[in-house]
Amino acid sequence: MSAKRNMINRVVGEVSTKEDAQEVVEWFSSTIEGQQHLADMLDKDAYVMGDDLFSDKTFSPVQSDKLFKKIDREIYQKSFRRTSLKVAAVFLPIFIVSLLAFYFNKQTSIFEGVKYTELYIPYGEDARIFFQDGTEVYLNSGTRIRYPERFGIRQREIFLDGEAYFNVTTNSKRPFIVNAQNTSVRVLGTSFNVNAYSESEFIKVVLDEGKTSFHVQGSSYSMTPGQLLEYNKITGRTILSNLSKPSSASLWKDNIIYFYDTPLAEVLKVLERKYDVKFHLQATGALEYSYTITTKHTDLEAILAELQKIAPVRFDQKEKNIFVTL
Do 124 and 176 belong together in one domain?
yes
Mean pLDDT, to the nearest integer, of 38-55? Answer: 49
Give the model's pLDDT for residue 47: 45
DSSP-assigned letters across all residues of 1-33: -HHHHHHHHHHHTT-S-HHHHHHHHHHHHH-HH
Helix pair 61-107, 18-30: axis angle to 10 deg: 70
pLDDT higher than threshold 80 for residue 249: yes
Do 51 and 68 belong together in one domain?
yes
**pLDDT tens-digit map of 197-216:** 999 999 999 999 999 999 99
User: 51-65, 189-203, 241-255 — which is least confidently predicted?
Assistant: 51-65
Write down which residue in 73, 107, 141 finishes a domain: 107
Do 50 and 130 belong together in one domain?
no
Q: In whole numbers, what is the pLDDT of the chain averaged over residues?
A: 82
Write down which residue in 234, 250, 266 finishes a domain: 250
Do 99 and 11 belong together in one domain?
yes
Asked if residues 117 and 147 have their Cβ atoms less than 8 Å apart, the reply is: yes
Do 266 and 230 belong together in one domain?
no
Give the model's pLDDT for residue 83: 56
Asked if residues 253 and 126 have their Cβ atoms less than 8 Å apart, the reply is: yes
pLDDT higher than threshold 90 for residue 228: yes
The CATH number assigned to the domain holding 219 equals 2.60.120.1440
Give the model's pLDDT for residue 191: 97
Do 185 and 213 belong together in one domain?
yes
pLDDT higher than threshold 90 for residue 15: no
Do 124 and 240 belong together in one domain?
yes
Write down which residue in 229, 250, 271 finishes a domain: 250
Number of domains forming the structure of the chain: 3
Q: What are phi and psi of 146, to 5 degrees?
A: -125, 125
| pLDDT interval class at 105 (50, 70, 90) | low
Do 97 and 163 belong together in one domain?
no
Beta strands, E only, the chain: 116-121, 127-130, 136-139, 143-148, 156-167, 176-180, 183-187, 191-196, 202-209, 212-216, 219-223, 227-232, 238-242, 257-263, 278-281, 290-295, 314-318, 321-325
Give the model's pLDDT for residue 128: 96
Q: Sort residue 162 into left (φ over 0), alpha (ψ -120 to 50) or beta.
A: left
Domain span holding position 277: 255-325
Do 139 and 265 belong together in one domain?
no
Do 190 and 69 belong together in one domain?
no
| Torsion sign over Cα 293, 296, 298, 299 | negative
Strand partners, 206: 193, 228
| pLDDT interval class at 36 (50, 70, 90) | low
Give the model's pLDDT for residue 149: 86
Give the model's pLDDT for residue 121: 97
pLDDT higher than threshold 60 for residue 148: yes
Half-sphere exposure of 121 (CA within 13 A, CB side): 25
Do 245 and 290 belong together in one domain?
no
pTM: 0.67
pLDDT higher than threshold 80 for residue 306: yes
Percentage of residues in the chain having pLDDT higher than 90: 60
| pLDDT interval class at 49 (50, 70, 90) | very low
Using CA atoms, how far apart are residues 307 and 168, in angstroms rounded to an integer?
35
The CATH number assigned to the domain holding 305 equals 3.55.50.30
Q: Is the pLDDT higher at 51 or at 65? A: 65
Do 141 and 85 belong together in one domain?
no
